[in-house]
Structure formats: structure tokens, C-alpha cells
Chains A and B, each alone.
Chain A
Amino acid sequence: MKMSLLAGGFSMFQGLEKYIIVWIISVLISSIAQVMLKAEANKEHESRLKEYLNPMVVTAYAIFFLSTFLTMYALKYVPLTYSPIIEPLSYIFVPVIGVLVLKEKLSKRRVLGILIMLVGIVIFSM
């Protein structure tokens, strides 16, 4: 029931929008994976190998891998020209999730820097 509702909601989006959303989800999950990497980097490990071979890092890379397929899938339908608008969402997602989950502090100055750079990315891709 829930699934069909979800699918119904999903089909509301015609053509492009649906694949743009797939792309955005791809960017979102890889942003979450970035935060997972940092969360693990904050921990002490017995050995260098364990810095890589632990459930968190392995899962994060599995998510990145999945994300490349989601992006490729979306790119079959969405023109690559959308890339400079969708991919930079990670520069919003990562700091926001970073602040929420890792409790990193974002100074006003850094927020300003990120905003300036987003403007730059938009102009770059216009």
C-alpha cells in the first residue's frame, strides 16, 4: 500500500523531473557518505588498515558506488548541462549534515565563502 502510494507520488513527476530527483538523491546520499567518512576519521584506530576496513567506511564507499550508478542512470535522461546546478548541492548538503551530525561549527565567514563560491559555480555554468 505504502509502496504504491510512493510510486504514485513519484509518477506525478513527468519525465525530466523524476530523473533530476534521482540525481539529487544521488548527491544527497553521497553527501551523507562524506559525513560518514569524516565521522570515522574522527575516531582512533588500532591500525592504518582499520581506518579503511571498518563498517562505516566500507558502507560509505558502497554508497558512493551506488551513487555513481544513480547519477549515470539520471544522466541518460537529464542533459549534462544540469550537472553544474545539481552536483554543487553537495556543497550545501555536506556542511549542513556535517553541522547537524558531526557538530562542526560553521563560522559566518565560512558560510559567506560557500555562498560566494556557489554564485561562482552558477556563473561558471550559465
Chain B
Amino acid sequence: MSGEKKTRFVGEVPLKWFVLLHLSLVVNSLAGTASKLAGRHKFLSFGFLFWYFMMLLITMAFAVAWQQILKHMSLTFAFTNKPITIIWGLIWGVSIFRETLSWKMILGSAIILVGIIVGVSDTVDPDAKPGTKGQGKLSGTSRETEVEA
């Protein structure tokens, strides 16, 4: 909708940071997979320690990214997107652990997606936003606080 040269937004967040948020959430969901793999092994066995370490490693990578991502959006925005990790977890569960997929999981996933889309799409029009460069820090947040439905 907006002009080609303008930064595109999802909700109040520049598209770039929205994509990075979702990449980080994929990484985050893999941490769950690693801890699940750890749980398959005896507590403190080699297998357990390996996957627990992997989980910490993935979590750390996520943590580094997360702190950057949070500079560019409100915490409520970031957290409204987070349940996507449940759907990623389902995808890893089915593909890696051969977990069975129930219709409730599919329906639940669909509703979660609808919830995310509804929760994330509230915004003022992009033209009302101040410049897009270097908006990350404080200004990004104060801009967010002015958004009212």
C-alpha cells in the first residue's frame, strides 16, 4: 500500500525487524527441541548434557538477537508474536519426533495464528510515523506508546 521507497511496516514495526523477530522465534523454538532431546536421556548422562548444552547455546544465540530486536519494538508486540513458537514446536515435533498430529492441534494452531495476526496488525498508518531511520531506540518506544486503538 505504502510508497515503494518507504519502509514497510507490520503493525508499528519495520518489516525488517518483524522478519528478524520471526527468525529469532524459529531459533527459540529449536531450544525447546534441544531440551526435549535432552529429556530423552538419563539425567546427567552424556546425551543429556550434550543436548542441554545445545539448548543453552541456542538460547544464548536467541538472547543476543532478542536484546537487539527489543530495541525496535514494544515488548507487547514482540510477545504477541511469540506463540508462533508453539506452531514451530509442533512442526519439529511431527518432523523430528514423529509425534502424532491431532485435529485439535491443527485447529489450535490456526486460532493461534489468527490471534497473532489480529494482535499484531493494530497500527496507525505508516505516514503517521516519524522517520524510519534510527528509530530503534527510545523514540521507537515512545512512538508505540502513542498508538491507541
B57 within 8 A of A: no
Q: Interface residues, chain B, CB within 8 Å of chain A?
A: 63-64, 66-68, 70-71, 74-77, 79-80, 82-83, 86, 90, 104-105, 107-122, 137-138, 141, 144-149
Known A99-B76, A107-B147, A109-B121: A117·B104 in contact at CB below 8 Å: no
Least Cβ–Cβ distance between B25 and chain A, in angstroms: 13
B79 touches A94 (CB 8 A): yes
A contact residues, range: 35 or more
Q: Are A120 and B111 in contact (CB under 8 A)?
A: yes
Determine the main DSSP class of B at the interface with A. Answer: helix
Let me know if A105 and B148 touch, CB within 8 A: yes
CB distance from B133 to the nearest CB of A (A): 16
Whether, in the assembled complex, A114 has its beta carbon less than 8 Å from a beta carbon of chain B, the answer is yes
Interface pair A104/B74, CB less than 8 Å apart: yes
* Interchain CB contact (< 8 A) of B144 among A35, A88, A94, A104: A104
Q: A37-B70, A41-B71, A110-B76 are in contact. Are A124 and B112 (CB under 8 A)?
A: yes
Q: Chain B residues with Cβ under 8 A from A16's Cβ?
A: none
The one of B63, B75, B105, B137 in contact with A38, judged by C-beta atoms closer than 8 angstroms, is: B75
Inter-subunit contact A113/B79 (CB<8 Å): no
